[in-house]
A and B are shown apart, each in its own frame.
Chain A
């Protein structure tokens, strides 16, 4: 059976905590902006921004980044990824950019995101906020802000459901063998 890792309240609490941590580490919000990775990361970045603004005042710029054109697994995937819109309407040069993603796994998406970001300008630094860190890194990438550390098997699935995608807020883990069992019973 799929196992709930975070319910809607846990998820909101995790976002609130990350908002506080971002402010604390950056000693405020000066020169700070958020860039969410399509798709889940964009929703999370858009939830983080008003929380940071509510705590610290001011306005945080939020952009969305599609990494499809920068992926290194484009030919190994069964289905070609749909290219989505990148929307960064502000200059990131000299800014402290917090990349936001829903699940951190091998780290390859974050590498692609950093390559993509640097094509837009030269940030002062890039930080990484993730809702779930499920381990199994294949690249030397470490998040600065983590909603929840979740040890998993490599083949497990971690799904982040968000109300922006017309689902109830929750994070669930589907163990690989469980999924096969469920499918075989259908």
Chain B
């Protein structure tokens, strides 16, 4: 089954079948990554442009490596050193990139909706690598892939997402993806960090960590965005950790085989303790590896969309 759109802008736009197709394809690419020669010639001659307007190490590196594993040429635009810093508009930047022959544009931007705007301007496939607090679709896809690798079936699982859901694009993409595949989603955190349009989401809200993670199959901790900490969403980091930090003791309330996930980078001792982050149930590093396979699958599948 082919993907319907030339772009990957969010999980909200994907059907459950399209998500499954991406996950199945990613499983094949994970096998490629386990070989001695981790590279295939599939997208030889294609060009991927990474356009990151926000700092990123793991996502940009993951996209770059995924593209290289598929034999594409990769160009990384460093925004502070580009013409954007001279006042060029986003549209003009995009059209310049298109004139250079890009087939894929991977974009991260602090404002929600920028990838959607670019997709309307560009013939190239646009992949959203995080737009404001809207979506981060490839992170959710790699999370779904990681869950499916351990649990086989996502339908019926109880997934607890803990932390700053209101500002988290990772959480939103995961909520869309998990519920489309039949998981039950619990959001845990202080009321100030819950999204405003909460009633529109098919989720259960818990303000108590103990109640929220009890019996959960998957526990997904979110990064506390320290840059927002001084805006008064919670009194102090110490209090946040005391109330909502994932510790080894709290983890005992979840199912015995519960998985611990985190999109990274981790703030140890704030959203997660070292024993939980490095414990046997943690799949945090596996998530990073799976991110490569998922991004390879996305590039491959988008390359086949004919519009």
Residues of B within 8 A of A68 (CB): 42
Contact pattern, A 117-144, Cβ under 8 Å of B = 1, otherwise 0: 0011100000000000000000000000
Q: Is A85 an interface residue (CB 8 A)?
A: yes
Q: Which among A70, A80, A83 is the interface contact of B28 at CB below 8 angstroms?
A: A83
| Residues of chain B at interface, number, CB under 8 A | 20
Contact pattern, B 26-58, Cβ under 8 Å of A = 1, otherwise 0: 011101100111011110000000000000000
Q: Is B25 an interface residue (CB 8 A)?
A: yes
Q: Residue of A at shortest CB range from B21?
A: A82
- Are A80's CB and B35's CB within 8 A? no
- Are A66's CB and B28's CB within 8 A? yes
Contact pattern, B 1-26, Cβ under 8 Å of A = 1, otherwise 0: 11000000000000000000000010
- Are A75's CB and B28's CB within 8 A? no
Q: Which among A74, A79, A83, A120 is the interface contact of B2 at CB below 8 angstroms?
A: A79
> A18 to nearest B CB, angstroms?
29
- Are A83's CB and B41's CB within 8 A? no
Grouping DSSP codes into helix (H, G, I), strand (E, B) and loop, the B interface class, with mixed when no group exceeds half, is: loop
Q: Residue of A at shortest CB range from B70?
A: A69
- Are A80's CB and B31's CB within 8 A? no
A108 to B2, CA, bound (A): 23
Q: Residue of B at shortest CB range from A83?
A: B28
Q: Residue of A at shortest CB range from B2?
A: A80
Residues of chain A touching chain B, judged by Cβ–Cβ distance below 8 Å, are 66, 68-70, 74-75, 79-80, 82-86, 115, 119-121
**26 A–B pairs (Cβ distance < 8 Å), ordered by A:** A68-B42, A69-B40, A69-B41, A69-B42, A69-B300, A70-B41, A70-B42, A74-B42, A75-B303, A79-B2, A79-B304, A80-B2, A80-B304, A82-B25, A83-B28, A83-B29, A83-B300, A85-B27, A86-B28, A86-B31, A119-B35, A119-B39, A119-B40, A120-B35, A120-B37, A121-B36
Residues of chain B touching chain A, judged by Cβ–Cβ distance below 8 Å, are 1-2, 25, 27-29, 31-32, 35-37, 39-42, 300-301, 303-305
